[in-house]
Amino acid sequence: MSVLRRSGRPLDATEAGRIAGLHRNTARAHLEALVSVGLALRRIELRTTRGRPRVLYEKAGDANDERAGSPVGVDLGYLQLAQSLAGQLSEMEDAAGEAVRAGRRWAAAVDSSPLSPGRLTPVETIGTVASLFERLGFDPEPVLDESRILLHRCPFLEVAKEVRPIVCGMHLGMLKATLERLHAPLEVTGFYPLLQEDPLLCVVNLAEKKSPANPRPAQLGI
C-alpha cells in the first residue's frame, strides 16, 4: 500500500515489485488482496500502440478524492465536545477501562464491514479494519505480510495530545469490539499510538487468535 501511496500514479505489478523489492507475482498477489478489500483499484491501461495492455493498480480514492493529500477536517464543535468528554472520562477512577468500554460502544454504532461475519480470512480482516479506519479519517496503510496497520492521520490528534490514554484507549476498544463482532480470525496484540507526530504514525499489530482459555492481552503502548 505504501508503494501505491508514494508513487502518485498507477503501477503495474512489475513496477510495484521492483520498488518494493518483490517478485512481480508476489507483488501482484499483494495488489490483488488490496483490491479485494477495496483499498486499491485495478484497471486496464489505455494505449494507442500495439501490444497487450498492462493491468494497473492505484490507491482507492486517488483519482477522485481531492482531499487525499490533506488532513481530514473535524468540525470545531465536535472537537470541543470530544475534548470535554475525554476530560470527563480522565477524571473517573478506572479511566483507562472506561475509555476502552466507551470505544466498544462506539464500535456498535459503526458499520465496520460489508463482509459476512465468520467468513473473513486474515487478509480480509486486515482490509476490513483498514477500511473502517479509512472511513473514520485515519489514512491507514495495511502491511499484509506483517499483520499490522499503520495509521498516518488522527482526527482527534489535538485531544489525544492532552489525554492520550483516553482517546487511544477508545480507539483500542472500538478495534477489539469490531474484530469480535466479525468473528475475525485475528486479534489485537498491540496498539502503539503517536510513535511519531511529524509525520504522524500509529501502529496496530494483529495476530492469529489464541484459544479462549489462553487469551493474549493487547498492549497499549502509551
Q: What CATH number has the domain bearing residue 148?
A: 3.30.1380.20
Q: Domain check: are 91 and 46 in the same one?
A: no
Task: Please check whether residues 99 and 51 belong to one and the same domain.
Answer: no
State the alpha helices, DSSP H only, in the chain: 2-7, 13-20, 24-36, 76-90, 95-108, 122-136, 157-162, 164-181
- pLDDT score for 75: 53
Stretches in the chain below the pLDDT threshold 50: 62-74, 112-115
Q: Residue 121 falls within a domain, yes or no?
A: yes
Alpha carbon distance 112, 128 (integer Å): 7
Whole domain around residue 101: which residue ranges?
Answer: 76-220
| Residue 222: per-residue pLDDT | 61
In a domain, 66, yes or no: no
pLDDT at position 208: 92
pLDDT tens, position by position, 160-204? 888 888 889 999 999 999 898 888 999 999 999 989 888 899 999
Which residue type is seen at 195? Answer: L
Q: Which of 10, 33, 59 is the last residue of a domain?
A: 59
Distance in angstroms (rounded) separating the CA atoms of residues 116 and 113: 8
Q: Are 34 and 97 part of one and the same domain?
A: no
| CATH (domain of 37) | 1.10.10.10
Query: In this predicted structure, what is the pLDDT of residue 155?
Result: 82
Q: Are residues 18 and 100 in the same domain?
A: no
Q: pLDDT at position 201, please?
A: 92
pLDDT of the residue at 79: 61
For residue 209, what is its C-alpha cell? Answer: 487468535
| Shared domain check, 178 and 93 | yes
| Residues 51 and 109 placed together within one structural domain of the fold | no
